[in-house]
Amino acid sequence: MSLPVKVSLLVILIMAVATATWFMPRDPMFACRWAWMPGMSLGILGGLYGMACGLLAGRGKARGLLTITGAVLWGIATGAMLGGVVLRLAGTPYYVWYPWLAHWPGSLIFGAILLMIPLWYRAAEQARQAAEMQKLEAKDIAAR
């Protein structure tokens, strides 16, 4: 198991233990107390995803994994945002629909990252090719 996965599991475990006393499903304010959970979880996953993009795309590795993960995160954020729109149109209270509608930044950010991934891999490939050309030129100069 990689370090980012271990760290994210540790954060989720600490968060679950710290908020376990707040878990009261029969409480009428249950939705209000737990409204932060989906956005915070998506934010943590988004931060880990951004870190993975920075580390892996710059090296030209794991293109499929990053693309699929980005598409899943974008789908979750967009689905939550559209769910918030439906909840708002259904007339639910503010504390119910707002946390779901508030996923619009995640939808925009993940969508932008999905559009940028091919450019990052193209830049990594060009850098690799330029380094290979410099290595060949250095060998040619040394052979003369």
Taking each continuous run of H as one helix and of E as one strand, the counts in the chain are 6, 0
Higher per-residue confidence, 55 vs 35: 55
Is residue 9 one of the residues assigned to a domain?
no
Is residue 96 one of the residues assigned to a domain?
yes
Domain count, the chain: 1
pLDDT at 112: 94
Is residue 73 one of the residues assigned to a domain?
yes
DSSP collapsed to 3 states, 3-70:
HHHHHHHHHHHHHHHHHHHHCCCCCCCHHHHCCHHHHHHHHHHHHHHHHHHHHHHCCCCCHHHHHHHH
Percent of the chain surpassing pLDDT 70: 78
pLDDT at 143: 82
Close Cβ partners of 76 (under 8 Å, ≥ 6 residues apart): 42, 106
Judge whether residue 17 has pLDDT over 90.
no
Band (10; pLDDT cuts 50, 70, 90): low
Least-confidence region, from 11-20, 33-42, 54-63, 103-112: 11-20
Is residue 27 one of the residues assigned to a domain?
no
Per-residue pLDDT tens over the stretch 37-76: 888 889 999 999 999 999 999 899 999 999 999 999 999 9
Backbone conformation region of residue 143, classed left if phi is above 0, alpha if psi is from -120 to 50, else beta = alpha
Is residue 42 one of the residues assigned to a domain?
yes
Is residue 48 one of the residues assigned to a domain?
yes
Domain that holds residue 46: 35-143
Is residue 5 one of the residues assigned to a domain?
no
Band (133; pLDDT cuts 50, 70, 90): very high
Is residue 57 one of the residues assigned to a domain?
yes
DSSP, res 91? T
pLDDT at 93: 82
> What would the mean pLDDT of 94-98 be, rounded to a whole number?
81
Report the distance separating Cα 57 and Cα 35, nearest Å.
Answer: 33
Judge whether residue 14 has pLDDT over 70.
no
> What would the mean pLDDT of 3-26 be, rounded to a whole number?
58
